[in-house]
Amino acid sequence: MAVRVGVAVRTLLTALGGLMVAVLVYTLATDGLPFRMDLLTRWMAALLIDFYINIAVIAAWVVYKESTWIMAAVWVVLLICLGSVTTCGYIVLQFFKLTPEESSKDPLYFVLVRHQKRKGVSVITARVIFAVLGCLMLGTLLYTLIVDGSPFRSELYTPWVVATLIDFYINVVAISVWVAYKESSWINAFLWILFLICFGSITTCAYIVRQLFYLSSDQPIYLILFRNNHRDLKPSDPPLMVAASE
C-alpha cells in the first residue's frame, strides 16, 4: 500500500509538472512575456500574493531539506521563478532519492524528513510569521473585493491570469497531499483541502498555525511536517526505526 501511494503521488506530480511546462510555453507563445503593467490588475496582484505565500511555505520546507545553504538558495530562486514546475520537480526528485526500504515503509514521511536535523526558528516565531502572512492575504482579499468587486468576471481571465491560476492550484495540490498525509480522518482532510481550494494561502497559513499550537515552545518546528504520532520524536531518533515500529 505504501509503495502504491508513493508511486501515485510521484506520477501525479510528474504529470502536473509537465502540464505546467506546457501551459507556460503555450502562454508565452500566444500572449508574450508576463512582465507588462497592463497585466497587473488588482486581482492579478492579489493572486500573486496568494501564490507567493504558498511558495514561501514550500520554500521553508526546501530550506529544511537541503544540506547546504547554496543548494537551498538555488531551489528557492527556482521556486520564485518557475513556481509549481519547481515544486513538482523537487518533490519527484526526493521520491527518486528514496531507498527501496524507505519506499516500502512510508515514502511520504521519508520525502518530508531531513536525516540530519537543522535547527529552525522557534515555534513561537513561526506562529507569528504564518499568522501575519495569513492576515496579510485575508486583508488583501477583502480590500480587492471592496475596491474591485467579484473576481468571477470573464474580462479578468487573461491568458496569464489563467496560467497563474493553474500554477497556483498545482502548488495547492502539493500542499493538499501533505494535509491528507497528516490528517487521521478523511473527512477532516477533505474539509481542509476544500478550504485550500476556496481560500488558498489563508487556509495554508491557518493550517500551519493550528499545527504549531500542537507543539510546545521547546519542540523543533519541523515536527509539524509529520503525523501526530511523530510529534514526540527527538532529533536523534532514526527516522527508519520510527517508521518501522509503526
Print pLDDT tens along the chain (246 aa): 778 888 999 999 999 999 999 999 999 999 999 999 989 999 999 999 999 999 999 999 999 999 899 999 999 999 999 999 999 999 999 999 999 899 888 999 999 998 766 667 899 999 999 999 999 999 999 999 999 999 999 999 999 999 999 999 999 999 999 999 999 899 999 999 999 999 999 999 999 999 999 999 889 999 999 987 554 444 445 444 444 344
Calpha distance 86→16 (Å, rounded) = 11
- The residue written with cell numbers 500542537 in the block is 214
Angstrom distance (rounded) from CA 112 to CA 243: 13
DSSP letter (8 states) at residue 118: -
pTM above 0.85, yes or no: yes
- pLDDT at residue 229, as a whole number: 55
Cα radius of gyration (the chain):
19
CA distance 51 to 164: 8
Under DSSP, is residue 152 helix (H, G, I), strand (E, B) or coil? coil
Asked whether the beta carbons of 168 and 55 are under 8 A apart, the reply is: no
Residues 6+ apart with CB under 8 A from 131: 205, 209
Are the CB atoms for 242 and 228 separated by under 8 Å? no
Using alpha carbons, select from 126, 131, 98, 128 the residue that is nearest to residue 112.
Answer: 98
pLDDT at residue 149, rounded to an integer: 93
Q: Where are the alpha helices (DSSP H) in the chain?
A: 2-31, 42-65, 69-82, 84-96, 100-105, 107-112, 123-148, 159-182, 186-199, 201-212, 239-245
Owner of C-alpha cell 496568494: 50
For 201, what's the count of Cα atoms within 13 Å in the CB-facing half-sphere?
A: 28
C-alpha torsion sign, points 137, 139, 140, 145: positive
The predicted structure's pLDDT at residue 78: 97
Domain that holds residue 230: 2-245
Residue 42, C-alpha cell as written in the block = 488588482
For the chain, the domain total comes to 1
